[in-house]
Amino acid sequence: MGSSEIHKFYKKSREERIALVKEFAELSDEEATLLGTNSVLSFETSDKMIENVVGMQQLPLGIATNFLIDGADCLIPMAVEEPSVVAAASKVAGIARTAGGFTTESDEPIMIGQIALVGVEDFEKAKSTIIGKKAELLEKAKGIDPVLVKFGGGPRDIEVHERQAKSGKIVMVHLLVDVRDAMGANAVNTMVESIASDIEELSGGKSRLRIISNLAVHRKARAKAVFSKEAIEESFKGKDTGKTTEEIIDAIIEVYEVAEADQFRATTHNKGVMNGIDAVAIACGQDWRAIEAGAHSFAAFETKYRPLTKYYKDDAGNLVGEIELPLAVGLVGGAVKTNPLAGVCLKLLKVKTAQELAEKIAAVGLAQNFAAIREIATRGIQAGHMALHGKNIAVMAGAKPEEIEAVSAKMAEEKNIRVNRAKEILEEMRK
């Protein structure tokens, strides 16, 4: 298997990049062509995906390098419009890989389907009647999706909760379903709809809604990485932070602790997490709104809103980062099969199950968050952004490929990143 540590990937031509990715992921000629195609979906296909189609909104698809996840080299497909995201993920993956990269784990893919009952007179009686018929209800739900059952999934359990709404008490029935390699919304929605009338009969209430919950608390993925003192020091080589490596590590932990203490900051902290998570999710054809809703709701689940990552020092003084969040992702269903590029991106990630996909996405979320707080705690977020932005400005000013680096470096040094200044620098350089 090839290494994801590809030297100066960003300096290679598009053809060279695709050739490297093709070799790494053993893509067919057709898949490699898809990867390098600007418009993958035909009008006919997209018109079947959503309604009233007129055209195609597009995002750049980049490849983050250097990722070592659970001992395996990974190239990460990321679809995103924001500069710096792909570069930052690659940079942090490089820092993490010196201490073994990311280790991950995840829960079984259990989703919750909800049936909300109104008009139930006696909660305890309704609860015990429903629970008493649990086996029959699960059996009925199982019959709805024999394909899911064939792949090892299916309904697993029923819970009954009491909720207080403005208009009165609600009985909330949760159907727990193992959705295996699906995101699961359609599968779960069909199941709860199929047993809702039985639940009404058993409880004496009326079902007001029957739908999946996007708060997938039983389907969490976790990732962890050690950012060693040496690797952190190396990553700042040649950059004046005015801090020792120990001070940088302490500053990063302080930045994390601010997010723990302040919801305004925690929100932006988590936005940094989602920069990575959404970009991979979009590349892989996932329902990223479902992931977003689940992530933020989980951030405030049974507590105040909090950061999705945490940081601390190990006994040797290295920095350790961890992430945990629900990730309802799938390899089947939804847009995964309709959009052929999503399939190629999944192949690139070399994932065999939805759980593996969730684990890799969690690792990218941690990397992305670390990239942001590493900058915030040292040079400030704009330095890295502006360095990349400087390259765009240099191109806009007419710099040739071999001139871009020097022009953007000079502008960064002067803290003056403008097209006019880039033009002046180019003139001076060319004299």
Please report, as ranges, the residues that interact with ligand NAD according to CB under 6 A: 145, 147-148, 151, 153, 179-187, 189, 212, 214, 287, 290, 330, 332-334
Strand ranges in 50-141 using DSSP code E only, listed in sequence order: 61-69, 72-79, 102-106, 110-118
For the annotated catalytic residues, the residue numbers are 82, 271, 287, 385
Nearer to ligand NAD (CB atom), residue 180 or residue 391: 180
> Hey, is 320 helix, strand or coil?
strand
**Hey, which residues does 222 pair with through a beta bridge?**
105, 324
Closest distance of CB 281 from ligand NAD, Å:
11
Which region holds residue 212: left if phi is over 0, alpha if psi is between -120 and 50, else beta? beta
Nearer to ligand NAD (CB atom), residue 91 or residue 220: 220
**Hey, which residues does 226 pair with through a beta bridge?**
320
Nearer to ligand NAD (CB atom), residue 182 or residue 283: 182
Whole-number Å distance between alpha carbons of 8 and 24: 16
Alpha-carbon separation of residue 277 from 4, 95, 373, 418 (angstroms): 19, 19, 16, 32
Tokens representing residue 41 in the block: 């979906």
Q: Which residue in 206, 154, 209, 211 sits closest to 186, CA to CA?
A: 211
Nearer to ligand NAD (CB atom), residue 49 or residue 396: 49
Closest distance of CB 289 from ligand NAD, Å:
7
Tokens representing residue 83 in the block: 């500069």
- Is the separation of the CB atoms in 122 and 169 below 8 Å? no
Minimal CB distance residue for ligand NAD: 333
Whole-number Å distance between alpha carbons of 47 and 103: 40
Closest distance of CB 48 from ligand NAD, Å:
13
- Positive or negative, the CA dihedral 355, 361, 362, 363 is positive
Closest distance of CB 188 from ligand NAD, Å:
7
- Is the separation of the CB atoms in 35 and 25 below 8 Å? no
Alpha-carbon separation of residue 351 from 110, 235, 363, 370, 388 (angstroms): 19, 30, 14, 24, 31
Q: Please give the backbone phi and psi of residue 154, each rounded to the nearest 5 degrees, phi first.
A: 130, 175
Closest distance of CB 113 from ligand NAD, Å:
10
Q: Which residue in 163, 156, 159, 122 sits closest to 141, CA to CA?
A: 156
Nearer to ligand NAD (CB atom), residue 332 or residue 387: 332
Closest distance of CB 297 from ligand NAD, Å:
12
Tokens representing residue 160 in the block: 């009954």
Nearer to ligand NAD (CB atom), residue 189 or residue 318: 189
Closest distance of CB 11 from ligand NAD, Å:
38
Report which residue type is found at 45.
T
Cα R_g (the chain), whole angstroms: 25
Nearer to ligand NAD (CB atom), residue 31 or residue 287: 287
